[in-house]
Amino acid sequence: MSKKLKEIPNFSNETEEREFWAENDSTEFVDWETAEPVILPKLKPTTRTISLRISASMLDKIRLVANKRDVPYQSLIKSFLQERIDEELKLSKV
């Protein structure tokens, strides 16, 4: 037995839509059991520039490793950070 879904209103702008979804439960409007994944290849996560002070020798070592892997050193740092974050989050679930 399927539940009757409410109709999603038409929005005049993104702000209006954002406010609507902040106040409403999407399960009243969308049957998530029949939803299909969508790939958005051009969607990029929002980034923020930060300043990080590390020793010159550490930066030299990071650049050396990045050079050996043929990747930009900043990408390598982000990769290392993501791996460590994932590891910490796994440990906190145990």
DSSP 21-40: HHHS-GGGT--TTS------
Task: Give the span between the Cα atoms of 83 and 91, in whole angstroms.
Answer: 12
Which has more confidence, 54 or 40? 54
Task: Give the span between the Cα atoms of 55 and 94, in whole angstroms.
Answer: 34
- Structure tokens that stand for 82 in this block: 């993501």
What digits encode the pLDDT tens for the residues 32-50? 999 999 988 888 888 899 9
Q: What is the pLDDT of residue 93?
A: 75
Is the separation of the CB atoms in 66 and 76 below 8 Å?
yes
Task: Give the span between the Cα atoms of 75 and 27, in whole angstroms.
Answer: 38
What digits encode the pLDDT tens for the residues 6-16? 999 999 999 99
